[in-house]
Chain A
């Protein structure tokens, strides 16, 4: 093995730090998946009839669908009958404020470095914390309420704002959209709901933290963000899971609706358990994220830093329906050890003068496989559509892989579509140069990787960017040579 690989090897063998789990009393559905379970979940959540029907319809469709196999990932098939579809920490009554939330549950989030109390209050970020299947607590609700902003758990939205939920649920990602989206539609247990009224700029970052704690439990959350005309919101999502030997399934759906002149920025720092060095355990992250720029001059921007999960299958997309609407996708995806990621975006240009920008930075280390898959589609009436795509791959060592699958479909001759791709390696020369200035190898790799990912990290809100930088360094720690 060359020296390069040795350094990479050492640098990428860092253990996952959120691998712990906590025993709490849980309210669980029986294992398995059938109509009874769906009725059970729906009843548990005291849902209206229409929603139960919606779930059942999704379930029936899902049964007739096949698991997609086109992605460049390989894993043993999930046995959907062996999973548990609902697990909630037992709370005697629904907490009205943070003070009433079980201190044990708050402690879980404290341990993750996500304080639902003081810290976030000081930083002015509103948090919705989702543990396994349900939302544990949402902070800052009152402050936001005064502006007419609704930010709450999905279950609560179903109860308090049924008309809004009914209007937008499944409007961007139809229940039958794809295999995992259909599954999610059938069994989703909770998630976050966010509504920004006309003309309101949300004064703080809204954020959701997802954590899977229970074993053998799938997490199927739904996030729905609706931004009315001329509104603005920046939304953050973070995730972790305990270290378990078996694979766990996470199949979420995120829908974003942006009306005319509205802007939504959605940032994710995903740190699900990636499995151990031999590839045992880890999260299967099969997520459907899509936003629609429904109104003219609207804008949706996705930023993701993907460091975790054993297998990632995820394509946050934008439907640019409104004229002059803008879609952006900024991504850093790191894979190490045996991780596999097939991620990218779709930009569907429907309106006139629509613009999209894709910046994807893949980093592969160990024996991992990292694929970018992107689709740029310009429809017939999308005059003057513009797209710029940049897909860079950084390889660490010579046993990993980087793949790029760009699909371009143009039906309007005025479209301008640009695609740039590069592949590079962290060189021994770069590391030695840093060493010679007194910087040790681990910090040198962190410096080089962060430099490489800078364009994407710059898109993240400040506090998240710092977190993401640290996470990149941690993920690759022990992997350089």
Chain B
């Protein structure tokens, strides 16, 4: 589904990603872990097409297409979804209105008829249950005055509505208490199928108790320095990142 080859990217001339290689197949869950500043969120942003990040080398193929060649909105329409670490507030625009605009633009791109208000609302009702989100919240301005937990739940709700092929969760666990974490993870797990894939970017192992990854990759200084299964995450939880840093840094000398 997704093939990342030797991906290099920089911000304002400072290299952040220095040769990422990753292969994600349908039905898989990959966790990207790593210490602060290792490039985890940058990777998520580059895949979604954020403009400040300049790709200097490498390629990303998503379902046979050159992902880096596409505008951010086209990546979304092709099925790439990013759950933001810091969801943005848009005053005066209700979540419902926002999502309907988004969904119908995605549908138009895929050659589907737009959903009328009735069908849209019934779809919404169905998906709301997944993340136990209240309709009142959705008629409020998008993310404005939402608590941290509400914002993250709203992200997963949007994911449920848009039914992406590849979901990238950028530090979705940050700022969540244990109950919200369970609700959000539940939602993500229910959306999993053998046709879609998930990349979970996280600093802590905690989230991976709920969303169990098939593979765990450790990102350090812009490269994947170690890959393994979920046991790797547990090892990191126990020992921290220092042993990996040492391993990498001594090899580099």
Contacts and interface: CB of A to CB of B under 8 A. Distances in A.
Contact of A451 (B52, B76, B90, B106): B90
A429 B87 CA distance: 9
A110 interface: no
Nearest to B106: A438
B49 interface: yes
A83 interface: no
B93 A438 contact: no
Interface in A332-372: none
Interface stretch (B19-27, B97-105, B131-139, B244-252): B97-105
A436 B51 contact: no
A429 B98 CA distance: 15
A3 B48 contact: no
A452 B89 CA distance: 12
B101 A440 contact: no
Interface residues of B, number: 33
A72 interface: no
Interface in A442-481: 443, 447-448, 450-455
Contacts of B88: 427, 429-430, 432-433
Nearest to B108: A438
Nearest to A392: B91
B148 interface: no
A448 B90 contact: yes
Interface string A370-398: 00000000000000000000000000000
B201 to A, nearest CB: 15
B92 A455 contact: yes
B124 interface: no
A441 B76 CA distance: 13
Interface in A395-443: 427-430, 432-441, 443
Contacts of A3: 51-52
B102 A454 contact: no
B76 A437 contact: yes
B140 to A, nearest CB: 12
B82 interface: yes
A437 B51 contact: no
Give the size range of A's interface with the partner. 20 to 34
B90 A438 contact: no
Given A427-B88, A429-B88, A430-B88, A437 B102 contact: yes
Interface in A21-77: none
B93 A450 contact: yes
Contact of B92 (A429, A435, A454): A454
B77 interface: yes
A438 B76 contact: yes
Nearest to A451: B92
A441 B73 CA distance: 8
A456 to B, nearest CB: 10
A443 B162 CA distance: 18
B50 A432 contact: yes
B77 A438 contact: yes
Given A447-B90, A447-B93, A454-B92, A438 B109 contact: yes
B162 A438 contact: yes
Contacts of A454: 92-93
B158 interface: yes
B39 to A, nearest CB: 19
A433 B106 contact: no
A451 B94 CA distance: 8
A435 B90 contact: no
A429 B82 CA distance: 13
Contact of A437 (B49, B71, B92, B98): B98
Contact of A436 (B48, B89, B90): B48
B120 interface: no
Interface centre among A427, A434, A436 (most CB of B within 10 A): A436
Contacts of B72: 432, 435-436
Contacts of B102: 434, 437-439
Interface string A178-209: 00000000000000000000000000000000
A433 B49 contact: no
B133 to A, nearest CB: 16
B141 interface: yes
Contacts of A433: 84, 87-88, 90
Contacts of A428: 51
B42 to A, nearest CB: 14
Given A441-B73, A453-B92, A435 B101 contact: no
A430 B77 contact: no
B101 A436 contact: no
A255 B211 CA distance: 67
A440 B73 CA distance: 6
Given A447-B101, A451-B91, A451-B141, A438 B73 contact: yes
Given A429-B88, A453-B92, A438 B105 contact: yes
A438 B162 CA distance: 9
Nearest to A447: B93
Nearest to A428: B51
A428 B88 CA distance: 10
Nearest to A458: B92
Contacts of A435: 49, 71-73, 76
A454 B142 CA distance: 14
A437 B90 contact: no
B107 to A, nearest CB: 9
Contacts of A441: 73
A452 B92 contact: yes
A285 B101 CA distance: 36
Contacts of A430: 88-90
A428 B76 CA distance: 17
A454 B106 CA distance: 25
Contacts of B101: 439, 443, 447
13 contacts: A3-B52, A429-B88, A432-B50, A433-B90, A435-B73, A435-B76, A436-B81, A437-B158, A438-B76, A440-B71, A447-B90, A451-B90, A451-B93
Interface of B: 48-52, 71-73, 75-77, 81-82, 84, 87-93, 97-99, 101-103, 105-106, 109, 141, 158, 162
Pairs of residues from A and B, 10 with the lowest C-beta to C-beta distance, nearest first: A451-B92, A451-B93, A437-B102, A435-B72, A454-B92, A438-B76, A438-B106, A433-B88, A435-B73, A438-B77
Given A436-B72, A437-B99, A448-B90, 16 more contacts: A434-B73, A434-B102, A435-B49, A435-B73, A435-B76, A436-B76, A436-B82, A436-B84, A437-B102, A437-B106, A439-B73, A439-B105, A440-B105, A448-B93, A451-B91, A452-B91
